[in-house]
Chain A
Amino acid sequence: QKEVEQDPGPLSVPEGAIVSLNCTYSNSAFQYFMWYRQYSRKGPELLMYTYSSGNKEDGRFTAQVDKSSKYISLFIRDSQPSDSATYLCAMTPSGGYQKVTFGTGTKLQVIP
C-alpha cells in the first residue's frame, strides 16, 4: 500500500462547478501538505501549502487538512477551463527539503 493514495480520475466537470480533489495518507508523521498543479507536458507547480490541520484559502482554491482522518482536500470554486490539469497532493514530515511524498495525481477536465 502506498503512503499517499489519490484517485487518478479523470474527473470531468462543467465550467463553474465546485471541484473536490482528495488524498488519503497513512504516515501520521506528515505535517506539511501541498497541492501541485501540472499541465500537460509541463512540470508541476505549487498551488497551495498548509501546515497541520485546518483550512487555507487562496482565491478560488481552498485546501483542507484533517489529520485525525489522514485526509486532505483541495476545493476549486467556479472552475474554469484553464483549471484543466492534473492535481498532485504532496506531503512531508517537516518543513524544508526532507523527502516529499507525492500522490499519483488526479486529472481534471473542466468542460466549457
Chain B
Amino acid sequence: DARVTQTPRHKVTEMGQEVTMRCQPILGHNTVFWYRQTMMQGLELLAYFRNRAPLDDSGMPKDRFSAEMPDATLATLKIQPSEPRDSAVYFCASGLTGNTIYFGEGSWLTVV
C-alpha cells in the first residue's frame, strides 16, 4: 500500500529552535507539495517541486522557512528560527502527472 510518509508525526519545540520535517513521497511520483493547515487559514500551499526542482515557494515565509529535495525519495521543510505562530499541521503530498494528490498523515508542530 503506497503512501506518503512524514516524520516526525508530532513535535513540541521551544521558540527559536530549528525544526526539520521530512517526507518520503510515493515511489515514482514526480511532484511533491508542502502544505500547512490551521483552523483559521485552512490548507495553505507553502511550496512544491516537480522532478526535484522548486516550482513555487511563494506561500512560504522566506526569512525562516526553507524547502529542499535532496533526492527523489526525500523532501525536507525546515523552520529556523521557529516561532509560536508556526504551530500547525504540516502536510506533505505527492502526485504524478494527473489530478490526484496523495497526502501524508501530517507533522503536528507546537512551538512554545
Contact = CB atoms under 8 A, between A and B. Distances in A.
By secondary structure, the B interface counts as strand
A96 B45 contact: no
A58 to B, nearest CB: 14
A44 B56 contact: no
B104 interface: yes
Interface of A: 6, 32, 34, 41-46, 49, 88, 90, 95-97, 99-100, 102-105
A99 B93 contact: no
Given A32-B99, A96-B97, A43 B4 contact: yes
B95 interface: yes
B103 A44 contact: yes
B80 to A, nearest CB: 25
Contacts, number: 50
B42 A88 contact: yes
B98 A104 contact: no
Interface in B51-81: 55-56
Given A88-B43, A100-B45, A103-B42, A43 B103 contact: yes
B34 interface: no
B100 A46 contact: yes
A43 B99 contact: no
Most buried by A among B31, B45, B99: B99
B48 A97 contact: yes
B105 interface: yes
Contacts of B101: 46, 97, 100
A20 B50 CA distance: 36
Contact of A43 (B31, B56, B93): B93
